Amino acid sequence: MCGLLTYISATGIGQSMAGPVGDALESIHHRGPDGTGIHADNDVVLGFKRLSIIDVEHSNQPLHYGNGRYSITFNGEIYNYVELRAELTRLGAEFATQGDTEVIVAGYHHWGADVIRRLRGMFAFVIWDRRERIAFGGRDPFGIKPMFHLVTDHGVFFASEKKALLPLARWGDATLDMANLSHYLTLQYVPEPGTLHRDIGRIGSGECFRYTPGQGLAIRRYWRAEFRPTPQDHPEELYKRIREVLRESVRIHMRSDVPVGAFLSSGIDSTACVALAREFNPNILTFTAALEVDGYSELPVAEDSARQLGVTMHPVSVTAQMMMDALPRIVWHLDEPVADPALIPLYYVARKASEHVTVALSGEGSDEFFAGYRVYREPLSLKTVNGLPAGVQKGLRVVSKAIPTGVKGKSFLERGTTPIEERYYGNARMYTEAEKSVLMRQYDSSVRYTDVTAPLYAEAQHLGDVEKMQYIDLYTWLRGDILVKADRMSMANSLEVRVPFLDYTVFDIASTIPTDLKLPPKTVETKYALRRAMEGVVPPGIVNRVKLGFPTPIRVWLRGEMYGWAENILGTSKAGHLVDLGYVRRLLHEHKRGDADHSRKIWTVLVFCLWYAIFVEGSIDPRPTPAASALLTKPVVGSMVS
C-alpha cells in the first residue's frame, strides 16, 4: 500500500519536471512514510511513497526490470504473487526481489496487457516501456485502489490522490465541474470517472490504459461484473462453497511481512472476516468505534463477538467534538467531497489500528455481492403493483399524485408504478431535483442522476430488478463512497486496509446466488445465503443481526453540540455563489426545532463548504506540517526502507 505520482512526457521535458513532481509527491506522504523514491529522465518522472508490507527490505520503487527496459510504480497488493512468480519462473523470468511489484512487470514482459487479468488483488499501477515508448497501467476490477489522471499538452500525470495533481494542473483548466457538483448533491459523492476539477479524471474500476507520447491516452475496460443467478437444487452445497471461498480469500489476504489486524463492528461482514482470520492467526487484534449515544454504539455487540471468538479488541470512543476537530483534515484527505458521516469513526478506528498493526482486514463489498441492503427487498414488496398491466399502472400513478403527501400508500403507489431505471440510483439520496433547483445557484435541469445510471442499466437490462440494483451499487455507491472511505481513512493513518470480500473468486460464487437465496420472500433477512454459510463460523447472535456500520449520531448532534459549529460554517463559507447557504441555514434551524430530520442534507453541504474552503478558496489549510508528516513514519518489521 503506497502512493504514486507518475509523469509521462510527450515533449521530452521529463528532467525539468522532476522538481515540481517531487514537491507534489510530498502531499501524499501519508500513503507511504517508510520510503520515497524518484526517478527522472527526459521521458518520465516516477515518484513513489512506500508503506512497506511485503519484502520490506527490498522491492523499493520505482522498480526497474529487464535491464532497465521497464519501470513501474504500483499501489496495492497482489495476493497471488507467489503463484504468479512460480509460473513466470517456469517461463524463464528472473527476479531480484521477493515482492509482488516485480511480478507485475515481469508478467507484463511475458504476457503483455493480459497480465492485468491474472492479478488477484487491489492495485493501481503504471509501467513505462522505454524500448516501445509506451505507458501501460490499470486499476483493479472493483476500484479498491484509486488512480487519478491529468492530461496536458506536454504529457500525462497519474496519481494515487487528486491533491498531488492540483499543483501540476496550471497548464490545464482545473475549474469546478458543475455537473459533478449536481451529482454530488444528489448522491453524496462525485461519481466516477469525473471529479469536481474538470480536467482531472479517474481511471475506472476494471479499466486499463495505454499512453503513447503524442497519441493521447486510450482507456479500455478489461473486466465487467456479470451477475448470473443460477437455480440451486442443493442450497447447502452453495453455502459450503461460499464458506470455503471466503476462508481461502481471507487466508490469501493475510499474506504479509508485517502485523495484520481487523476492524470489527456488530455485523456479520467484519465478524466473518475476524472469525476466519483467527483460524490462521489466533492472536489477531481487532478494532472498533464507540459512540456514546443510545442506539449508535456497536461496542457492546462487537465486544461480545470478540469475547466469543477469543480475540483482543481495542475500542476507540468518538465524540461530537472529535468529529468537528477531524472533519477538515478528513475532507483534505478525501480529495473529493464525500458526505458520509461514517468517515469520521472509521478515521479514528484506523488511527487506533495503526498504533498496533500495519494492515487491517475489513468487510467492505459484502452488501453489494450478497444483497445486504434492505432497499434490495423493495422489488419484492412492489410486485403487486409493478406486475400489473401498463395501463393499470398508469392509472394508479395518476391516483398516487392525488393522494396528499404523508398519507399512507402514496409512496408505495408512486414507487410501484415507476420503472426501476428511474426509481433507483443508489443507497444515498440527498437532494431531489426540486430541492436542487432552489439550492444550486446555477441549477441545470438537463443534468440528472440518470446520466450516471442509464449506461449501467443498459448493461444490466437482462437482469432481474434485485441484480440490477446490485449492479448499480457496484459501479456507483461501492466505488464512489464505500471504497473511497476505506482507502482515504486508512491511508490518512498510514494503514493498509484489505477487503477479502472484494475478491474475484468470491464474486464468482456470489454472482450465481439466485434471488430467493439472497432475499427469501417470507423473511425480512438480507444476505440470506451468506448468513447460512457463516453459521458455525461466527457467533450465533451475529448470524442474523443487522449491521450498523459505524453509524454516527449527526441527527442528534446537529441539534446540540454541533449546531453552533454548523451555523458558523454556513455563515462564513465563500461558496454562497454556488449553493444557497441561507436555504441550508433554514434547514438547520428546522432541524434544531425538531420540525424535520434534515441532518444528511445539512451534512452534505457542510462537507462541500469545507471542501471549497480547502481546495478552491484556500482559507483552511488542514494539511499536516512536515514535522507532523514525519511523525506518521513508524517502525516496521525488518529494516527501514530508505
Handedness of CA 245, 246, 251, 255 (dihedral sign): positive
Cβ–Cβ under 8 Å, residues 301 and 393:
no
In sequence order, the β-bridge partners of residue 212 are: 216
Residue 18, C-beta contacts closer than 8 angstroms, at least 6 positions apart: 38, 40, 45
Q: Is 528 left (phi over 0), alpha (psi -120 to 50) or beta?
A: alpha
3-state secondary structure of 503: coil
Distances (CA, A) of 89 to 61, 78, 113, 252: 22, 17, 19, 21
Residue 315, C-beta contacts closer than 8 angstroms, at least 6 positions apart: 287, 288, 289, 290, 299, 302, 303, 352
Q: How many other CB atoms are there within 10 angstroms of residue 596's CB atom?
A: 10
For residue 573, give the DSSP letter: -
Q: Edge-to-edge strands of the sheet including 312-317?
A: 312-317, 285-290, 260-263, 359-361, 496-498
Handedness of CA 413, 415, 416, 422 (dihedral sign): positive
Cα 154 from Cα 152, distance rounded (Å): 5
First-to-last CA distance in the chain?
16
Closest CA to 552 of 349, 305, 261, 337: 349
Cα 587 from Cα 596, distance rounded (Å): 9
Cα 504 from Cα 274, distance rounded (Å): 20
Cβ–Cβ under 8 Å, residues 186 and 436:
yes
CA atoms within 13 A on the CB side of 4: 33
Q: Which three cell numbers stand for residue 191?
A: 461519481
Q: Please confirm, yes or no, whether 2 is among the known catalytic residues.
A: yes
Judging by beta carbons within 10 Å of its beta carbon (0-12, 13-18, 19+), is residue 221 exposed, middle or buried? exposed
3-state secondary structure of 78: strand
Catalytic residue among 2, 208, 273, 609: 2
Cα 593 from Cα 531, distance rounded (Å): 41
Q: Which three cell numbers stand for residue 315?
A: 475500542
Judging by beta carbons within 10 Å of its beta carbon (0-12, 13-18, 19+), is residue 505 exposed, middle or buried? middle
Cα 24 from Cα 219, distance rounded (Å): 25
For residue 408, give the DSSP letter: T
Active site residues: 2
